[in-house]
């Protein structure tokens, strides 16, 4: 059972409505409604889940309620003997058993993104391409089972490589992905061919399936990072829930080839896979694909240093949304950078847009200060290393999206930035800094606004930012950072201790600067 199914069962057993549960655990009834409909998923250690477990353990007091719950959990013989605390633990574990590793899944995704490096792939030889068409006739071919699907896909990509003109590939599949992932040799060959297709100037539109399990979805996105990094891909998703019974694959290269297949559930072992080179058939499949695409939404926007203007536009739109936000990164963010520091840093960046960027930064900082009147903003980063600051190795966040390479703080600039952060912490109740020891996602930016969207960025060269607004992914990343926030800042004296640590670093840095200048 999924979380929303378990929650509905508990609410039905105890005759609880959304408002009553929301009041008991200090949440909005609308949030409970989203959880019940599967529009939002919790993560491990979410405070409200333990609150739910305590609430339902109180309400499941009769034998018939415990019997119904025990049947669902699979331990009906023991539930009737459980005391309140024990029953609460049982319900809590049961509610989260499908989601207990979600934080690990997100961390694995972030590590994969931050650690990505381009590697030069060996070229595909004419012999490789010609081998893919051995025995193929013109018009239509029918190939069977997993091996047939693999052969059809290899032939599809190979034919694109033979074409003298680049095109935009149209890709969609919600079929079981075992054909692609279970044979490492085939996976490597598929990835090599796809990279060659992209390097040949072709582009891709792909409709992702977001009603796969969360780990499958993130694994799929992580697997596409090399292609995303090229900036030649447009990912979309269908926003409504599908039953997953009747599944479809459409891979189309206009005027070149198409391969299609259908399956029931996850059964693909003996299914027919059709490979077309007939233009009339390809045109009909293009129409089918575009009809489906019209019902879809962009899954994410991808920004590299080649897309500076588009990135700044999306960033401004994202930050204008009125919602609480949490950002985790390796360094203090540019949001809290004082104006004179922004000016001196931009003076060292090789760009003709210097005046525009300074104006943009000042407006961004003003909007940030204004938003703190109503919205909570939390920044999570490790305490900067004094030696890195003094040696000029403290990197300005995403500076290569502004110029051609990374830019670094001078010690004086970093000192001023630190003092500004301390001033903001003292002045604004809604501004929170968490100095974390967690280095798991080093090299990544994770910036989330509740119920708005998420920015995932790779901060090392080559940098890239993914802007995602799909609701399930937004909720998962938000809950991931909320757990981290609650664990780190649960003590009342937390803010005072953070200020003291930042002031101590600033004082040591000031002493070193005086020694250097003296």
Same fold, 120-298 and 302-517: yes
The residue extents of the domains of the chain are 3-100, 120-298, 302-517
How far apart (Å, rounded) are the C-alpha atoms in residues 214 and 38?
Answer: 12
Confidence of residue 217 (pLDDT cuts 50, 70, 90): low
CATH value of 120-298 in 3.40.50.1820, 1.10.3720.10, 3.40.30.10, 3.30.870.10: 3.30.870.10
Segment 4-41, tens digit of pLDDT: 788 888 888 888 998 899 888 888 788 888 788 776 76
Architecture of the domain defined by 302-517 = 2-Layer Sandwich (3.30)
pLDDT higher than threshold 70 for residue 390: yes
pLDDT higher than threshold 80 for residue 258: yes
Segment 399-441, tens digit of pLDDT: 656 555 778 999 999 999 999 999 999 999 999 999 988 766 6
Which of these, 299, 112, 287, 109, lies nearest to 208 by C-alpha position?
299
304 near 457, Cβ under 8 Å? no
Segment 142-192, tens digit of pLDDT: 999 999 999 999 999 999 999 999 999 999 998 887 888 788 888 888 888
Buried b (16+ CB within 10 A) or exposed e, 232-264: bbbbbbbeeeeeeeebebbbbbbebbbbbbebe
């Amino acid at each position: 059972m999924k979380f929303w199914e378990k929650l509905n069962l508990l609410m039905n057993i105890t005759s609880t409505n959304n408002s009553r549960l929301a009041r008991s655990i200090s949440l909005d009834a609308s949030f409970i409604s989203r959880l019940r409909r599967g529009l939002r998923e919790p993560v491990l250690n979410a405070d409200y889940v333990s609150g739910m477990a305590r609430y339902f353990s109180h309400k499941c007091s009769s034998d018939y309620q415990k019997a119904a719950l025990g049947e669902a959990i699979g331990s009906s013989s023991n539930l009737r003997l459980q005391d309140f605390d024990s029953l609460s633990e049982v319900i809590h574990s049961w509610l989260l058993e499908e989601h207990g590793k979600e934080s690990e899944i997100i961390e694995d995704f972030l590590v994969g993104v931050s650690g990505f490096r381009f590697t030069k792939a060996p070229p595909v030889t004419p012999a490789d391409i010609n081998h893919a068409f051995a025995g193929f006739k013109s018009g239509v071919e029918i190939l069977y089972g997993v091996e047939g699907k693999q052969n059809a896909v290899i032939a599809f990509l190979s034919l694109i490589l033979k074409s003298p003109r680049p095109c935009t590939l149209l890709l969609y599949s919600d079929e079981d992905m075992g054909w692609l992932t279970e044979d490492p040799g085939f996976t490597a060959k598929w990835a090599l061919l796809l990279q060659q297709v992209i390097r040949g100037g072709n582009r891709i539109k792909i409709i992702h399936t977001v009603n796969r399990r969360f780990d499958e979805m993130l694994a799929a996105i992580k697997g596409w990072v090399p292609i995303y990094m090229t900036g030649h891909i447009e990912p979309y998703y269908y926003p409504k829930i599908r039953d997953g019974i009747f599944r479809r694959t459409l891979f189309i290269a206009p005027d070149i080839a198409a391969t299609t297949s259908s399956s029931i559930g996850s059964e693909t072992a003996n299914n027919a896979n059709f490979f077309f080179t007939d233009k009339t058939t390809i045109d009909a499949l293009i129409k089918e694909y575009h009809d489906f695409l019209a019902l879809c939404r962009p899954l994410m926007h991808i920004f590299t240093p080649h897309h500076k203007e588009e990135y700044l536009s999306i960033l401004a739109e994202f930050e204008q949304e009125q919602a609480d936000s949490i950002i985790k990164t390796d360094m203090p963010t540019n949001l809290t950078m004082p104006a004179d520091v922004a000016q001196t840093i931009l003076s060292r960046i090789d760009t003709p847009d210097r005046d525009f960027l300074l104006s943009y930064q000042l407006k961004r900082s003003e909007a940030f200060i204004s938003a703190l009147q109503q919205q909570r903003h939390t920044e999570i980063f490790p305490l900067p290393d004094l030696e890195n600051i003094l040696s000029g190795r403290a990197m300005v966040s995403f500076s290569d999206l502004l110029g051609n390479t990374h830019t670094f703080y001078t010690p004086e600039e970093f000192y001023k930035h630190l003092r500004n952060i301390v001033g903001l912490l003292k002045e604004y109740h809604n501004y929170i800094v968490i100095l974390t020891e967690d280095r798991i996602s080093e090299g990544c930016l994770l910036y989330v606004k509740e119920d708005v969207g998420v920015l995932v960025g790779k901060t090392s060269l080559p940098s890239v930012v993914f802007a995602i607004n799909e609701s399930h992914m937004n909720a998962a990343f938000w809950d991931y950072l909320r757990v981290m926030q609650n664990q780190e800042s649960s003590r009342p004296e937390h803010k005072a201790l953070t200020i003291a640590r930042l002031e101590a670093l600033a004082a040591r840095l000031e002493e070193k600067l005086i020694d250097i200048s003296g």
